Structure 1
Amino acid sequence: MATRHVASGRSAVLRAAENYVKWDPNVTTRSAVSKLLDCSTNLDGNLASPGSLELKSMFTGRLKFGTAGLRAPFGPGYNCMNELTVLQTAQGLLSYLKEDVANNVKEKGVVIGYDHRCSSGFTDYDLSSKQFAMVSAAVFASQNVPVYLFPDLVATPLVPFATTRAGAACGIMVTASHNPKDDTGYKLYWGNGAQIISPHDANISRHILENLEPWGRECEGWGGDFGDAVQRVSRPTGEFAGEYFERLRTSLCSDFEGNEGKEPNITYTAMHGVGHAFTKRSFEAFGLSPFVSVSEQQEPDPEFSTVAFPNPEEGEGALKLAMEQADRVGSRVILANDPDADRLAVCEKVGGGWRLFTGNEIGNVLGHWMFKKATKGREDDKRPIAMLASTVSSKFLSSVAAKEGFLFEETLTGFKWMGNRSEELRKQGYNVVFAYEEAIGYCCGDVVKDKDGVSAAAIVAEMVVKLRQEGMTIADYLLELKETYGFYVAKNSYVKILDEQVLEDIFGELRNGGDYLQTINGVKVASVRDLTLGLDSSTEDKKSTLPADPSSQFVTFMMENGAVVSLRTSGTEPKLKYYVEAVGKSEAEGGNVAEALVEGVLNDIIKVKCRGYQLTLPP
């Protein structure tokens, strides 16, 4: 092998790659980069083909830490999830936490959990969510910070619960939720148990860049075995799960004695994730008979071997096995967690087929159910009731709130906003009983300040039992609510757009230099809200009451016929998402208006047919 000479004026890519080889504790990813360096540099030490393009893709730029944390494929380099990028992230996080004197991380410690994802089945790299959790724990342990490390796979909701229960400075969950199998992620909760919001993300990102080199000799010697470092300051976590399920029973179960032994006859799938054991315990906490599990999808499987996309939102493709099993055993309801069990999908047998309720439909039903729970038999609780929903979710609960006399607020998209806002409202004396986002994320009560598919599954199952006692189904209940509060019909979907410039062009044409789109499929626009710029044409000062977020694209059109059309970019995927909702005197009337506006979104705005962009429409 030729010896590489160190050339003066080394390129940034080469310097980054060489530092990676020097610092990476994982032998498989370190060796991969080292081999690329050997075949991609000439005797003068400069980049040469054939591997230079691959090196450039690995070391030009790096993963950016945002309010959603990190999410990316497993692999070597600074644009992927690997032990070094996680180590650097943990060092930056700890450096930032040390600045926050009030948080006192050295006394409070951190909570860390992980899911089942790993790369060994489809790459040459030995990487996993567990390893990333251990790396993070070892970074904190090396600085004598107490670490509450879950010893086994854990459902995501238990991490924010444990964070507040332990009084920790922050909580880390290593998961990619419902992303494809080659991804994992790094989700961060602050000491209040809610996901982080700005400016924490920018500050952590800055500290990461200031702490790229591993700290101390112990970091250099880890070599993938982090147990000794963690054991020095580890704290027990065994009590957290028991306390979590007891809180579910005491604060969310309507009638434990009345549920005991009742058979909801529900089929459940964990979607190859971690949810089975935890949702089983939530049923037990509510006194419900066990569900029927889809055995092929029951155990954690990082290959997600029976589904192309491990996302129950995808519909029949993801839920095919659950539907087949439910038909065999006579279940009338199917519940499905996503792989990290923070979200919940619900199906019900209607006629001869299965109806997959939308996230909005279950959000509307659960919201009203939680309102009934909060007002029945709790006359001694004088706190005013409040509910929250993301701004792209249905406006149905605002109609319920207006009629029933409780507070309803919208937040920006994401539970990071709802979690932090719920804490503020509780400090003001409100009883925040429910929050949701249309992407099947639900937070019932105050056990956690994040979406929780484990508790939501038990509440829906209990609701099924109570409705059956009244001779009703979930569909019956939903129709009854619509007849009372209005027929809100939402049509939400997305297109995949890999070219960021195309996204910029589309939103640039929407804004048209400040002269925004005037009509959508012939329907006039009444006002525009642009949360990228902080503009709202309906307010006196033309400023949005919701905070602006220049890092993402988000424009909403309020139509003259009362409908709402929103378009935004995804924070984690190359998607342009659109949300259309109309309200009518019947399902058909609302649906016709919504369908016409969807047609306008695709043709007048995204222009799939005539623009010529390579877009991928969902199935």
Structure 2
Amino acid sequence: SRGVVVGFDTRGQEESGCSSLRWLAKLTAAVMLSRGVPVHLFSTFVPTPYVPYAVKKLGAASGVMITASHNPKEDNGYKVYWCNGAQIASPHDKEVLRCIEEQLEPWNASCWDEELVDNSSLRTDPLTQINSCYMEDLTSLCFHRDLNSSCTLKFVHSSFHGVGHDFVQRAFRVFGFAPPIPVPEQRDPDPNFSSVRCPNPEEGESVLELSLLLADRENARIVLATDPDADRLAVAERRGWKVFSGNELAALLGWWMFFNWKENHPDPADTESVYMLATTVSSKILQAFARIEGFHFEETLPGFKWIGNRIHELSKTGNRVIFAFEESIGFLCGSMVPEKDGVSAAVVVAEMAAYLQTKRLSLNQQLHNIYRTYGYHVSKTSYVTCNDPPTIQRIFSRIRNFDGDDSYPKACGGVRIVHVRDVTTGYDSSRPDLRSTLPVSRSSQMITFTLQNGVVATLRTSGTEPKIKYYTEFCAAPGQSDVSQLEEELRKVTVALLDEFLEPDKNHLIRRVV
């Protein structure tokens, strides 16, 4: 009786036979309707965070978003949310798989009747209501509206041929800004992503070329780019064009959200219920904030589903998450939706830039102020591609038996490894009981090494692509300011991580050039 929310992106609307709307969203809705389940089907494409937001706002039983986010144009995907608005996790994901395996024979053709979607009284369109509610709730993240209306900064926005244009324009108006200048070649939906070699703004300057050229012509200082389903955000700033990494943006946004929290909650006792969250492969900068400022910081497994579910758990005990992120440019400012949200993050970054301009500071200058206060956190994130699953298994098995059976490496690049955490097996050498506090995740590979020199390095497999991802970070103490030395030490460890642990299988790997 509570119904299911169904949303979709813009993939395959014209050329592809497997469009998000016709072949996936409408058929999902038809199957539900054929069994008497109410369906809240959006009448047009929406950002991914609109689906979990609608699940919570409408009190729905679950939600489905049809999207492959920033994957290649040939891909599509089916993203499922539970009634708490977070992506499904255990035990619900396992129960879904069990039900699939028990019902391998498709139901009869009446379940796939698209006319049900057009004619059923159980089908509603939540677009107007959710648009209105979302934009109204967005004002809770607006701290300086008067300042915004007089802002002289110019912003450029690319929606990467996806859903983001209208929603980001609307969000800017809600905050009192003039709308950002859209990149015309990338403003409208295009399932072929015809102006970019890869529809992923996380790739940085190489895919932001049109945005940066437009910003130069328009004398705009900030470039904002949302990915095709508008749940991720990339940011660049003109001063020789600095493209911020996800970890750097998180340092800025984490500082900004806590700065405004303190302004509005001067009683230090209020901070005791404040949390920030990050996935474990992301920068530890929020942990450094928390040590000094007195709020709580927690890590989760990679993937925003873990953050979303943890937000739900914390809210039940009266705690409040004011910022969360994953290093792959996924940010959540506040907790109005338990999912990363590129629309809200874009306008929050704009307000932060407008405020800093009044202090004669750029985003990059403020980033260095943050690092001087809390310690420089220099990180490197990239990946190697491997299309041979047995090779991936062999690599991680070799690491787990590096110096004999059940013996992990003792050094990397000549630097002693002091702790090893293996989330795939549940092992953590830093714990008295040798058991990881993070949930065991046997379906993916992930091993983290903590080195004596302060570098933290992780190798893990991607959940959606044939990649081995690697993450390294040097977490320096406040006052340690020789950034070039930190970067060189991090570079040496990163090179050693690849050469020593992946090199024996180099013939099966394609390294990304960074």
> Counterparts in 2 of 1:388-467, with a 5 A limit?
388-467=277-356
Instruction: Please show how residues 112-261 of structure 1 align to structure 2 within 5 Å.
Output: 112-118=6-12, 121=15, 125=17, 127-216=19-108, 218-219=110-111, 222=113, 225-228=115-118, 231-237=120-126, 238-249=128-139, 251-261=140-150
Aligned to 1:333: 222
For residues 452-484 of structure 1, give each alpha carbon's deviation from its aligned partner in whole angstroms, at most 9, with x where no partner exists: 000000000001110001100000100000000
Whether contact under 8 Å (2:47, 2:229) holds in the other structure is: yes
Distance in 1 between residues matched to 2:493 and 2:22, nearest whole Å: 45
Larger Rg over CA atoms: 1
Following the alignment from structure 1 to structure 2, what is the Cα–Cα distance between the partners of residues 253 and 126?
Answer: 39
Indicate how the Cα distance of structure 1 residues 217 and 321 shifts in structure 2: closer, same or farther if over 3 A, else same.
closer
CA-CA distance at 1:346 after TM superposition? 0.5
Contact 2:14 2:191 (8 Å CA) reproduced:
no
In the TM superposition, what is the alpha-carbon distance from 1:217 to its structure 2 partner? 5.5
Give 2:472's aligned residue.
Answer: 580
Residues 559-584 of structure 1, C-alpha deviations (whole Å, 9 max, x = no match): 11111010000000000000000134
* 1:379 positional shift: 4.0
**Cα distance in 2 between the residues matched to 1:126 and 1:454:** 26
Show CA shifts across 1:155-204 (max 9, x none). 11111110000000011100000000011100111100111111211210
What residue in structure 1 maps to residue 176 of structure 2? Answer: 287
Partner of 1:478: 367
Match for 1:604 among 492, 500, 508?
A: 500
Mapped contact 1:120–1:126 kept (Cα < 8 A):
no
Tell me how far 1:446 sits from its aligned partner.
Answer: 1.6
* Equivalent of residue 425 in structure 2, options 510, 533, 539: 533
Structure 1 residue 509, shift from structure 2 partner = 1.0
1:213 shift after superposition: 3.2
Q: Determine the structure 1 residue equivalent to 2:241.
A: 354
Q: Distance in 2 between matches of 1:163 and 1:130?
A: 22
Return closer, same or farther for 1:491/1:217 CA change in 2, 3 Å cut-off.
closer
CA–CA distance in structure 1, aligned partners of residues 86 and 494 of structure 2: 34
CA RMSD of aligned residues (A): 1.6
Give the drift of 1:272.
0.6
Aligned-pair CA distance for 1:606: 1.0
Instruction: Quote the offset at 1:617 in angstroms.
Output: 2.2
The count of corresponding residues between Structure 1 and Structure 2 is 504
How far apart in 1 are the matches of 2:511 and 2:171? 38
Q: Given that residues 385 and 511 in structure 2 are in contact (C-alpha distance below 8 angstroms), is that contact kept between their aligned partners in structure 1? A: yes
Distance in structure 1 (CA, Å) of the matches to 2:433 and 2:117: 57
CA contact (8 A) 1:333 1:347 kept: yes
Structure 2: 5+ residue runs without aligned partners?
none
Instruction: Determine if the alignment matches structure 1 residue 469 to structure 2 residue 358.
Output: yes
Task: Kindly provide the CA deviation profile for residues 532-579 of structure 1, in whole angstroms up to 9, marking residues without a partner as x.
Answer: 000001111000011110110000001111110100000000000000
Aligned amino acid, residue 124 of structure 2: R
Secondary structure at the counterpart of residue 242 of structure 2: strand
Partner secondary structure for residue 288 of structure 1: coil
The answer for unaligned runs of 5 or more in structure 1 is: 1-106
Match of 1:4 in 2: none
Q: Deviations over 1:339-384 (max 9, x none)?
A: 000000000112xx21110000001110111001111123479362
Measured in 2, the distance between the counterparts of 1:467 and 1:313 equals 24
Q: Is the contact between residue 11 and residue 191 of structure 2 (CA under 8 Å) also seen in structure 1?
A: yes
With structure 1 as the length reference, what TM-score do the two structures score?
A: 0.79
Amino acid at match of 1:366: L
**Cα gap change, 1:119 to 1:510, in 2 (>3 Å):** farther
Tell me how far apart the structure 2 counterparts of residues 216 and 533 of structure 1 sit (CA, whole Å): 42
Q: Which residue of 1 aligns with 2:378?
A: 489
Matches within 5 A, 1:559-574: 559-574=451-466
Separation in 1, partners of 2:255, 2:204: 24
Q: Percent identity?
A: 45
Establish whether residue 370 from structure 1 lines up as the match of residue 257 from structure 2. yes
Q: CA deviation at 1:252?
A: 0.6
Moved more, 309-318 or 449-458: 309-318
1:141–1:232: 8 Å Cα contact kept in structure 2?
no
| SS at structure 2 position matched to 1:264 | coil
Instruction: State the distance in 2 between where 1:126 and 1:484 align.
Output: 51
- Determine the C-alpha separation between the residues in 1 that align with 2:59 and 2:150: 36
Q: Secondary structure at the match of 1:108?
A: coil
Once residues 601 and 510 of structure 1 are traced to their aligned partners in structure 2, the CA distance between those partners, rounded to angstroms, is: 11
**Alpha-carbon deviations, 1:229-249, whole Å to 9, x = none?**
6x3311241211110010001
Query: SS of the residue aligned with 1:514?
Result: coil
